[in-house]
Chain A
Amino acid sequence: MAYSDKVIDHYEHPRNVGVLDKSALNVGTGMVGAPACGDVMRLQIQVNEQGVIEDAKFKTYGCGSAIASSSLLTEWVKGKTLDEARQIKNSQIAEELALPPVKVHCSVLAEDAIKAAIADYQSKQGD
């Protein structure tokens, strides 16, 4: 199966790979995994006082589509409010990366990861 040019670009030049301080109050960490393929994804957001995501980092062990989905997502969420970030749908990621049906679950994983990161951030804020 051929990967799209966008997937290959993100796979070869992943954006925002790295780690943020997961114990920091302004950082939310989302850990998700897909048992069927053994992929593990960590997505972190750093949120400023206005509730805007000012930085995002990820680390993904998995196939090219999973890496590309999380790489693209970190680009998209930067500068967005939490509400805006929460509304990103896996179908948008799959469409942007032209993922074939068998790889759509990779974009589902990325959507789950950002939702988990937002939930983790909000639980730290105590609301």
Chain B
Amino acid sequence: MFDFSKNYFELFGMPAGFTLDSAALATRYRDLQKVVHPDRYASAGEHSQRLSLQGATLVNEAYETLKDPLKRAQYLLRLKGLEVDGQNNTLNDPAFLMEQMELREALAEVRSSADPQGSLDVLLREIGGMIQAQIAQLAVLFEDGTPQGLVTAAQSVQKMQFLNKLHAEAEAVEAELDEAC
């Protein structure tokens, strides 16, 4: 069917890099899904059926990883031998963390502000902008590819983890506000 030892980029036949063609990724995903779809192996032997199921799982995992900038960056770093999502990883950047603390405080105060939706929109835009800035920086750092660049990329990935969590929390508040209206 296909080679299970390939990495996700090889599986999708795309160059291993942070910047990637998302339309081509989606097309390749649909093609691969057809190849491994369990329906195609309904009349095949048990072994082929099991392989097709494993193939479909792998293709889905690969797609989920490659289409998400944070997961893609983490995966790229792992391919290069840098582990970035360990439980005991801590970020030592007081200025960034101070800013995160302030943004979380601002989010906590949104509900009691005069214009909750307006304050939340401002906050969501600000967090969204910060995430885009990290994505732009990651593109440059992975292009650069030097060991020092990859260490900085790992820090950038850590920052994105905080920002994504914060963005998800802000979206949860937005859903709450929508319900209250």
Contact = CB atoms under 8 A, between A and B. Distances in A.
B98 interface: yes
Chain A, interface residues (CB within 8 Å), range = 10 to 19
Q: Which of A33, A61, A102, A108 has the most CB of B within 10 A?
A: A33
Nearest to A101: B87
B174 interface: no
Q: Which of A31, A105, A108 has the most CB of B within 10 A?
A: A31
A38 B162 contact: yes
A99 interface: no
Interface stretch (B1-9, B89-97, B122-130, B131-139): B89-97
A31 B90 contact: no
B166 interface: yes
Main secondary structure of the interface of B (DSSP, over half): helix
Given A61-B104, A109-B90, A35 B85 contact: yes
B100 interface: yes
B90 A38 contact: no
Interface of B: 84-92, 94, 97-98, 100-101, 104, 157-159, 161-162, 164-166
Interface of A: 29, 31-38, 40, 42, 59, 61, 102, 105, 108-109, 112, 116
